[in-house]
Structure 1
């Protein structure tokens, strides 16, 4: 089952029903980006094509890049930053088949070629480096960097089982400067030929980006540190209606623990919901009055991962008795028609301090979808809409009101949402 048949296959895998749900995403501007250091395959072949053209065309000379162009043409190189799935929603392992990790859609399929002659970046094992990722269209999210296991064979199709189970590096919302994200990270203790696999999952949209960077680690001794950390302590949990705060006792390791990954149990495929270098994390965007189970895995700089901690069970609050935050929301529908409507939303800061980088969340009523939005970005995932301010209205001063609107689809008379939360605090309905 390959994602290249995305039209029907991936929608079913994501639990999306009907065309209306797809239209929901049209209010979100697509982001774009790819790893530039260490260079992804598409970026490395783009630069190889520029060097080989002697002009405005792209004429790669690297054998693997030449083979990729023969199969898929040059457009994937011009669009080297667009290797994405719009509706991924964090379900990467569920919707991307083994062998398709480097190019999960038809356009980039040629970059899955199992060859030993892709352009490579030489890295010092265990060193601190500055990762660089193009920010063609910046958006918030989390970047997870995985590395292939010892003994990986680049001449065989890349499978999920070829990757170490936990990322060796993770970063949430790095700063984009001059059209590029950059952050410092520690490389794993590997030796020889490997692939660094990067996943950028936006947190304001289900859209995700994928990069395969071919690397050679020098100076490493993959057999030097094979001792995994001990399991972290059983987490303790404190819940609100839509979030859970977790804390746990630290794991121990012979060379030191470099970070922790928090997982939510979800049947056959558990979901990574947080990454941290400390021993606390907060999981947001949860459903009220719902039971959840979470556990924690530790990792060290060599990429060794611990056994999972004992899982903690917790139930989110009902939300019915919560005290409204310092905000008030007015939601009205000035016009509607058969199958659609226009909504105007005003958000007032009724508190005494500014609300910065505001995000308003509400449950989308059944049968509704959200399309074009103005004065805010609006995205929908798992039945929840999230609106966030534009660059010119992203902060709300005390007593100030910001307004935005959108066009929606509706089966019958459009119903108003029942509740709103501003940056996690419930709002009074004005």
Structure 2
């Protein structure tokens, strides 16, 4: 399958480097709660890289990049053996459990400073596993034995002999598998080791999640979050709707929101906002939201909101406005920030913005988009996380360029997917 860049990303700061592209990867999923080493290092690298590159600041993550490069983080969901066929202990030697192939071997480093997730001993939780490419199969979760030392190589004998959790074909919604599990009664620093063996293929996936157990044998967290506020719908198209709601409160903290329609989970979010996709045109939907905490306690459902999708089916209308600014200029170069707004009534898919880029200017780097220059024109395309612009929504990107004229003249026209845009 073609290499994908990242699932979730944020707008980049000035000076970020070009968005990563190219190559191929076989990649299907990894634990996102509690986060695997590759996932948490990817998120740490994304925060440190300003959105256009991965520059981890966590010392263990930085050491892994120094040893194995950044590609394992771009492919954080691809830690697999294609012909495992259940032979995990036979084909993975001691010390290689967290990174069983050369590509991910840096994530076997024996360090005490890997990113950790705080968990409550003996509590009911919701495991979340990214479904980059869904497959049927069975997940097993093991935990390290008491006295485990994270600064020594992880061996099979360091794991408790039986999995504390096992599930086959868990529910899938919003691009993630999610299921309830009871954490073991542990204390202090441990590793939760996850195995996913596909049932339709010999391929298997592996992840190490560094956790710190609190609570010991104490009383688990049984307090549910408050109910979320009534969802407010916006950006309605023929196939999607954006929902926002007032956040819930919790005695420890809300870890996720689940959006329901027709008794089924149709989206999940870690914030109080989400865009529900995959809807049918000219159809009425009712949505409610439920909050959950890290112990798996779920709130009462929010009041419902009813939305009718448009008849447009997501066909772009071509209505758009562009805001082009240069927050920084210097002798021989400049930084430009561009915001593209969809003022139409339907989503714009796979957007491409084109403007004049005269000779004497040269692109240096770009962020939150892929920008190419040819024949005196620049073309910006959305990347994986901002490829579509919902009705009433906008996307932003930026770039650095050199110039023989200081300052260069601003562009006087832009076209979005072939249609002229207003300039503001």
Instruction: Tell me the TM-score range normalised by the shorter chain.
Output: 0.3 to 0.5
State the TM-score, normalizing by the size of structure 1.
0.44
State the TM-score, normalizing by the size of structure 2.
0.45
